[in-house]
Structure 1
Amino acid sequence: MVTLQLKQIDVLPGQRVVLRHVNWQLFEAILAELGEHRTIRLAYSKGTLEIVAPLPEHEQSKVVIADLLKVLLDELDMNWEPLGSTTFRREDMQAGIEPDECFYIQNHALMIGRERIDLSTDPPPDLAIEIAIASSTQLSAYEALRVPEIWRYQNRQLQVYVLSEGRYIASSTSLIFPDFPATEGISQFLALSRTAGTRPALKAFRTWIKEQLRSQERSSKLGEQF
């Protein structure tokens, strides 16, 4: 048997390394050896470990999507707690995942000031954002940890997946924003950020949200008249 140390493995940007037959104790040891300050991300499900090194385009997209989401939550007067790429794991489920970004929204109050999370007693994040997720290991880990909603951005398309009976299904509507065209707006202004810059796109998105809310209010008042 050939044994390699982690420091002997280089994962280049945009590449993915898959290790099989990795038990939970080894997964925990790898997490400890790699530490928290790293650029690579891990996904673990039932003995399969994936190590991914994101590209710069990947990182820019996830940051801008997260910033747009925060603007939306703010304008809708909704509270949130961002947990970034926190490592979420449960030994009993043999699953671990590090989202590109994640948010507690419905359960935000439980996370205020928290420095440690135990998914055996704490809820998973309400929303995870993944850029170009194409891995069965990642999806299996999310399903095992019961994250209710994933936003997947791939090929410049933002798609919503919601957990239904333990599996993710594509949805035209977000669970968190059932009455607002959230992903439509975020897709539009994410595209704008590539030509106009991030700050102008965020400002324009805020204006667009207010226009949408005024339009909804007018429609509601009109409906009450009939």
Structure 2
Amino acid sequence: MVSTIDKLEHLKNLVNLAKLKDAESEVVFQINNISWNQYEKLLCLLEDSSRIKIKYLQENLVIMSPSRIHEFDKKIIGILLEAYFFTKKIRFYPLGSTTFKNQIIQRGIEPDQCYCINTNKDIPDIAIEVIVPSGGINSLEIYQGLGVKEVWFWERKKLSIYVLENENYTKMNNSSLLPDLDINLFTDYLCYDEPFDAVLEFQQKISS
């Protein structure tokens, strides 16, 4: 039987392996039978590391080291969305990759970007995930338990929006929290090669 100390040491070794990868690749490790206590200890060990993301769902844990393209995409999504907030004078609270967790339901996650709309809250209204590798833990199941109203997935240059209704997520064509945001237009500018030009042109479009 593997001891708690041995398991934690194993997790630390996986984290160190993930940190060694090159910037162009995405590294993902999934480990099962991890207790909540082990999950929290790992989070404590990673307090000073922004290069590693952790997901936890009922004793299943994922360690991920995002690639350069992952970080680029999440930042552009955030910049464009914040440009929309400013242009439309929508009050928002950016919470970045804050760790959100709940021991009772055994869930924990760190979005790529997340926001509270109009008022600051304990749980974000919108969580955004950039999906590069497939598989692993079902992020929607984690967000559902935490009560996040909307989850946006950016994968293969397509934006999918899931809205929480009656405790279940429904895939929608538009945001229920930002009904005036043209998702097709927003997606077009996410695909620009030049982010500076994308933001300026996007602001001009939504200001007219």
Place the TM-score, normalised by the shorter chain, in its bin. Answer: 0.7 to 0.9
Calculate percent identity across the aligned residue pairs: 30
TM-score relative to the length of structure 2: 0.87
Report the Cα offset of residue 35 of structure 1. Answer: 1.7
What do the CA deviations read for 1:166-207 (whole angstroms, capped 9, x no partner)?
2222101201211331x2222111112x1xx21111100000
Q: Which residue of 2 aligns with 1:8?
A: 13
* 8 Å contact from structure 1 (residues 160, 173) kept in 2: yes
Distance in 2 (alpha carbons) for counterparts of 1:141 and 1:180: 26
Distance in 1 (alpha carbons) for counterparts of 2:105 and 2:137: 16
Distance in 2 (alpha carbons) for counterparts of 1:176 and 1:149: 8
SS at match of 2:63: strand
* 8 Å contact from structure 1 (residues 22, 49) kept in 2: yes
Q: Which residue of 2 aligns with 1:185?
A: 185
Stretch moving more, 40-49 or 6-15: 6-15
Aligned counterparts, 1:1-226, within 5 A: 1=1, 3=6, 5=9, 6-9=11-14, 10-11=17-18, 12=21, 13-108=25-120, 110=121, 122=122, 124-132=123-131, 134=134, 135-181=136-182, 183-192=183-192, 194=193, 197-211=194-208
Report the Cα offset of residue 157 of structure 1. Answer: 0.5
Distance in 2 (alpha carbons) for counterparts of 1:36 and 1:44: 19
* 8 Å contact from structure 1 (residues 44, 96) kept in 2: yes
Distance in 1 (alpha carbons) for counterparts of 2:48 and 2:206: 36
Distance in 2 (alpha carbons) for counterparts of 1:200 and 1:146: 35
SS at match of 1:78: coil
TM-score relative to the length of structure 1: 0.80
Instruction: Give unpaired runs (5+ residues) of structure 1.
Output: 111-121, 212-226
SS at match of 2:33: coil
Instruction: Give unpaired runs (5+ residues) of structure 2.
Output: none
- In structure 1, give the amino acid aligned to 2:147: R
Stretch moving more, 129-138 or 163-172: 129-138
How many aligned positions are there?
A: 194
Larger radius of gyration: 1
Report the Cα offset of residue 28 of structure 1. Answer: 0.6
Distance in 2 (alpha carbons) for counterparts of 1:29 and 1:206: 43
Distance in 2 (alpha carbons) for counterparts of 1:79 and 1:36: 30
